[in-house]
């Protein structure tokens, strides 16, 4: 296998792991999420809503961030549609839209996201997430 084929294989694998993470998130499969990330991973959710912040380590990411987001939605309503996914080297960039129904307000949530992942040893090592948190605050949280 040539160097370019090896690199392409690595980026394709990283894109597959990124897609698998999204699928596991929507399915609320936190055990699967744990298998797709490094134990010392870091997740940064930019913005100013309750779940925004920096999460260090897989336990904090899953137990505080991921599990903290699930109660915001009426069960079974969360959906994520990937618009595009690009990869180069150990980095993956995703643009996707999340939709669902807010448990607190009953309003429909529809928000575009930018997610930038860094991989190490074929697993997610770091994530930086960008989203309209003003929309999130308006739709997901009761006054």
pLDDT per residue as tens digits for the range 12-34: 999 999 999 999 999 999 999 99
Say how many domains are in the chain. 1
pLDDT at 10: 85
Interstrand relation of 91-101 and 79-88 (parallel, antiparallel or unpaired): antiparallel
CATH number at residue 76: 3.10.450.50
Domain that includes residue 7, residue range: 3-140
pLDDT tops 90 at residue 3: no
Q: What whole-number distance in Å separates Cα of residue 114 and Cα of residue 96?
A: 7
Confidence of residue 9 (pLDDT cuts 50, 70, 90): confident
Q: What whole-number distance in Å separates Cα of residue 18 and Cα of residue 37?
A: 10
Residues for the chain: how many in total? 143
């Amino acid at each position: 296998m040539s160097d370019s084929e090896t690199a392409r294989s690595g980026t394709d694998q990283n894109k597959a792991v990124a897609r698998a993470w999204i699928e596991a998130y929507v399915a609320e499969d936190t055990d699967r999420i744990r298998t797709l990330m490094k134990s010392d991973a870091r997740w940064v959710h930019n913005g100013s809503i309750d779940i925004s912040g920096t999460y260090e380590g897989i336990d904090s990411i899953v137990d505080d961030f991921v599990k903290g987001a699930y109660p915001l939605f009426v069960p079974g309503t969360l959906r994520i549609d990937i618009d595009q996914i690009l990869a180069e080297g150990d980095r993956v960039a995703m643009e996707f839209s999340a939709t669902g129904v807010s448990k607190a307000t009953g309003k429909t949530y529809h928000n575009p996201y930018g997610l930038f992942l860094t991989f190490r040893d074929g697993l997610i090592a770091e994530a930086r997430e960008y989203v309209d948190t003003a929309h999130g605050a308006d739709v997901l949280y009761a006054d």
